[in-house]
Amino acid sequence: MPYIEMPKLSDTMTEGTVVKWRKGVGDPVDVGDVIAEIETDKAVMELEAFDEGILKEIYVAEGGKAQTGQKLAFLLGADEDMPQKDGPSGRREKSGATVAGRSLAAPPKAGTVASRTAAAVPGDRVKASPLARKIAGAKGLSLSSIQGSGPGGRIVARDLESAPEAARPARPILVPETPAGQGDRRIPLSSMRKIIAERLLASKTQIPHFYLNIELDAGELVRLRTQLNVHLEQAGQGKLTINDFILKAAVAAATKVPRVNASFAGDAVIEYADVHLSVAVAVEDGLVTPVIRRAQTKSLREISGAVKNLAARARTKKLKPEEYQGGTLTVSNLGSYGIKSFSAVINPPQAVILSIGAIVKQPVVNALDQIAPGHRLAIGLSADHRVVDGAVGAQYLAELRGLLENPTWMLL
C-alpha cells in the first residue's frame, strides 16, 4: 500500500490537519517511524508508517486539511515504480496546500497560480526535455502547468504544441507588429526586459487594479529636511533625501494599516508581519526593486543608508537575488524626473504600490482662506482589489498624509 492516507484516529473524526511533517520528500521511512503529526478534532497525534520505503511525494502541506482516507503522501517501496501522475485524488485542491507553501522569497511567476496545482506536486522538479524548455522559454509558457506525455511524464516538444492558450503567462501580442525596416533598430530582449514584460503583463491582466490619489502639503517636510541636512552637513554626514522620508512614512503607515502589506494567495490573504520594502530603481534597460528587509525596525538614517547602498549596487548589477526578492510593499518615485503624478503597475504578488511625484511649488489656499505659496506633493496608490478595498486604501493614504504633513511624528 504505497499511499499514506489520513487515518481515522477517533470515532468522531472526519477530517484532520497535518500539523507537521516529521519526514521530508526523499527521506527513507521504516515501519513504525513517525512520519507526521496529525491534529484531530480532539488532539494532536503521531502518524506512524506501516510500510517501509522512500517518501516520494507529499500531497498535503503542513497546515493543510484532509478528510479521513484521503491520500497524504506517497511511499515508494524498494521494488516499486512511481505511478503515472494523474494526481493523488480529486480532493487535493481543497487543502490549498501548494499555495500556502509558496514562500514570499520566491514570488510565483504570475499566471500559473491557478494552474500550478493541476500538474506539479510541491517540491517535485518539473521533468522536461532541453528542447521543451527552450520552446517554453521562447513562447513564455510555464512548464509547471503542462502535463508531460513523454516517458516517465517528461514534458517533450509536442506537449508545448498542444499546450492550452490559458497556460501562457504572456499572451501573444494580438496587434500585428510593425516590422523593423531599414534604419530601424531591432533590440533583442534582455533577460531583465523579458521578466519585466512577463511580470507586468501578468500584473495588469490578472490583478484587478484600482487607483487612489492624494495631494498633500509638503511644506513641513521640506523645512524639516533642510534643517536636518544643515545639521548633518556640519557633522560631515550624508544628506537625507525627500524620498528617505517618504519611504519611512510608507513603512510606518503600513504598520498602522497592515492590510496593505499583504498578498493574495488563492484561498487566503497573507498579511506579512514584517514590512520588506521594495524600492523601484531605474537601471540601464529596465528597473529593479531592491528590498529593505524588516524596514519597520529601521530608523530614517538606516533606511537612507540602505537605499543608497542598494540603489548603487542595483545600477552596477551587483545585487544578490535575495536582495531583490521577497518584498511586500513597493514605492516608486518619479519626482526627480519632474513627474507630477502617475499610477504605477503593481509589483506582483504584492497588494499595493505607491507612486510618488515631484514636490511642486504652487499657490494654495491656506487655512485662513488666503492664497499663499505652498509645496505640494502628489501620491498615487495602486491596489489589488482582491486584497485591499477602497476604504482601506484611503485609510492607508490618510496615515501617510498625516506623517508627511507632520514629519516630526515619525520621530515618535
Q: How far is the CB of 408 from other proteins (least distance, A)?
A: 60
Question: Interacting stretch for other proteins, rule CB under 8 A, among 93-101, 125-133, 333-341, 353-361?
Answer: 125-133
Q: How far is the CB of 151 from other proteins (least distance, A)?
A: 6
What residues does 5 pair with on adjacent strands? 71
Are residues 376 and 217 in contact, defined by beta-carbon separation less than 8 angstroms?
A: yes
The HSE-up count of residue 109 (CA atoms within 13 Å, CB side) is 18
Measured from the CB atom, the residue of 97 and 135 that comes closer to other proteins is: 135
Q: Restricting to residues 151-180, which ones interact with other proteins according to CB under 8 A?
A: 151, 154, 156-157
Measured from the CB atom, the residue of 151 and 338 that comes closer to other proteins is: 151
3-state secondary structure (DSSP) of residue 39: strand
- Give yes or no: 231 in active site: no
Q: How far is the CB of 155 from other proteins (least distance, A)?
A: 10
Q: How far is the CB of 135 from other proteins (least distance, A)?
A: 9
87, 150, 258, 266: which one contacts other proteins (CB under 8 A)? 150
Q: Count residues contacting other proteins (CB under 8 A)? A: 11
Torsion of CA 304, 309, 313, 315, to 10 degrees: 30
Contact between 188 and other proteins per CB under 8 A: no
Measured from the CB atom, the residue of 160 and 292 that comes closer to other proteins is: 160
Contact between 131 and other proteins per CB under 8 A: yes
Q: How far is the CB of 132 from other proteins (least distance, A)?
A: 7
**For the CA atoms of the chain, what is the radius of gyration?**
26
Which residues make Cβ contacts (< 8 Å) with residue 203, sequence separation at least 6? 110, 345, 346, 347, 348
Q: What is the DSSP letter of 180?
A: P
Residue corresponding to grid cell 523593423: 180
Task: Give me 406's grid cell.
Answer: 507632520
Q: How far is the CB of 41 from other proteins (least distance, A)?
A: 50
- Contacts within 8 Å (CB) and 24+ apart, 264-269: 264/207, 264/349, 264/351, 264/384, 264/386, 264/387, 265/99, 265/100, 265/102, 265/349, 266/96, 266/99, 266/113, 266/114, 267/96, 267/99, 268/96, 268/99, 268/100, 269/386, 269/387
Contact between 130 and other proteins per CB under 8 A: yes
Task: Give me 402's grid cell.
Answer: 498625516
67, 129, 241, 296: which one contacts other proteins (CB under 8 A)? 129
Question: Interacting stretch for other proteins, rule CB under 8 A, among 83-91, 149-157, 234-242, 256-264?
Answer: 149-157
Catalytic-role residue among 209, 231, 375, 385: 385
94, 133, 293, 301: which one contacts other proteins (CB under 8 A)? 133
Are residues 305 and 239 in contact, defined by beta-carbon separation less than 8 angstroms?
A: no
Please give the residue ranges that form the binding site for other proteins (CB under 8 A). 129-134, 150-151, 154, 156-157
Residues designated as active site: 385
